[in-house]
Structure 1
Amino acid sequence: MKLNLNLTLSIILGLFMISNLSNAQEKAVYEKYGVVVSSLQPGLEVGDDAFQFKGKTQNKKDFDLEKALKKGPVVVNFFRGSWCPYCAKHLINVNDSLSMIEKAGATFMAITPETEERFAAFAEKKGFDFDLVGDPKLDIMNGYKVTFEVNDGYQEMLKKYEKDLTKINSIKNASLPVPATFIIGQDGKIIARHYDPNYKGRMSVKEILSALESI
């Protein structure tokens, strides 16, 4: 009995140590991507009610999620800003395949904390045919629980490339969204999501279309 108890305790201790090691490794990875881990929000989950919002587009028009959902599902993407090459590549890929998303009955739109002047110029330069919406007070980012504070090391790295988040962002602080994507059904429920603090990972057009086909 004593041997079995010791073996059980050893297994539990081993699992605990592995768990702690895994958490430490995960934290180190997130910090590498500029995340202050203690500030990282978990993102809304599939089945949750989507946060309803309104905002101004690159063309100074009103975007209303509630109204957009009356036409069909809405794909809501969060991007860090026009300065982010991974964001630009992803949005260009989406724009190239936008007709397929629209053929599936959905609307694609993207949200950024960047200043209106910057994201409007970005949209014009890239020729985007979908709406970009500013989030000047981070209300939408917080509503979808994708906000995090950027650590000092990453901020300093960006400044070397003349990218100061306290000047680029409307709110004038170094907060960013996890580059997440949420697909919202017409009932206002989230039916699919991609949430990864690793800014290199995105929901592909193929994955978006697959989720839309499942509705």
Structure 2
Amino acid sequence: MKKLLFIFLVTITTVANAQTAIPKSATDIAPLLIGEKIPGITLKSAENTAVQLSDLLKEKKTVLVFYRGGWCPYCNLHLQALAEAEKQILAEGFQIIAISPDAPANLKMTEEKDKVKYTLLSDSKGELIKAIGIAYEAPENYKSVINVHSNGVNTNFLPVPSVFVVNTENEILFEYISPDFKHRISEELLVSVLKNLK
């Protein structure tokens, strides 16, 4: 009987660990699909205050951007391009929210460096990034960088750069997910998508 109980507990533990394990590479992720809902998880603002994501998403249709961090030059170029396209995006009735594993203090630096007026949020623990299914195990050469930029909270994961267009019910209307972090959706294509989603 003890042996059966032991086997049962080992099986349950293995299944639980398999469900919480993050993929080894960016090409192994299993993101949420169009029609599914973005979970309403609490994140941190640049001012280090708690922000309920679902409250923000209720306000307006949203372009929800996930980036690796303010240390990533490709992310900075993407954030700057979004800042330049923000007037067009707002004109189509959407807000922009960008999320990374960076600590709140580092969001402030990114806002200033990239001239960002839209909302940046911190998901240093990766609760939302993992729930959406875009987290993967960071390569060794990134682990010290992400550790520093998350103030020691994140030591092992990165988000695959992604853009989700979400309605006020948290439902995904469109997504662009690129396992190659050097490739991002252009602002022209994004604005075109938004025009077609009206």
Q: TM-score, normalised by structure 2?
A: 0.79
Q: Distance in 2 between matches of 1:193 and 1:39?
A: 16
2:183 maps to 201
How far the C-alpha of 1:61 sits from its partner, in A, is 5.0
Q: Distance in 1 between matches of 2:48 and 2:96?
A: 17
Contact 2:147/2:155, CA 8 A, preserved across alignment:
yes
1:179 maps to 161
1:189 maps to 171
1:116 maps to 104
How far the C-alpha of 1:100 sits from its partner, in A, is 0.7
Q: Which amino acid aligns with 2:180?
A: N
Q: Which amino acid aligns with 2:70?
A: S
Q: Which amino acid aligns with 2:24?
A: V
- Kindly report structure 1 stretches of 4+ aligned residues shifted beyond 6 Å: none
How far the C-alpha of 1:62 sits from its partner, in A, is 4.9
Structure 1 residues 124-139: aligned runs within 5 Å? 124-139=112-127
Q: Distance in 1 between matches of 2:44 and 2:54?
A: 14
User: Which entry has the higher C-alpha Rg, 1 or 2?
Assistant: 1
2:4 maps to none
SS in 1 for 2:59: coil
1:166 maps to 147
1:31 maps to none
Q: Which amino acid aligns with 1:141?
A: I
Q: Give identity over the alignment, percent.
A: 24
Q: Are 2:42 and 1:54 equivalent residues in the alignment?
A: yes
How far the C-alpha of 1:144 sits from its partner, in A, is 1.1
Q: Are 2:192 and 1:210 equivalent residues in the alignment?
A: yes
1:147 maps to 135
Q: Distance in 1 between matches of 2:55 and 2:31?
A: 23
SS in 2 for 1:97: helix
Residue deviations 1:63-100 (CA, integer Å, cap 9, x gap): 43323333321111111111100000000010011011
**Bigger mean CA offset, 69-78 vs 129-138:** 69-78
Unaligned runs of 5+ in 2: 1-22
Unaligned runs of 5+ in 1: 1-34
1:83 maps to 71
How far the C-alpha of 1:141 sits from its partner, in A, is 0.3
Contact 2:58/2:169, CA 8 A, preserved across alignment:
no
Contact 2:101/2:150, CA 8 A, preserved across alignment:
yes
Q: Distance in 2 between matches of 1:165 and 1:73?
A: 30
Q: Distance in 2 between matches of 1:198 and 1:105?
A: 29
Q: TM-score, normalised by structure 1?
A: 0.73
Q: Distance in 2 between matches of 1:213 and 1:61?
A: 33
Q: Distance in 2 between matches of 1:100 and 1:125?
A: 21
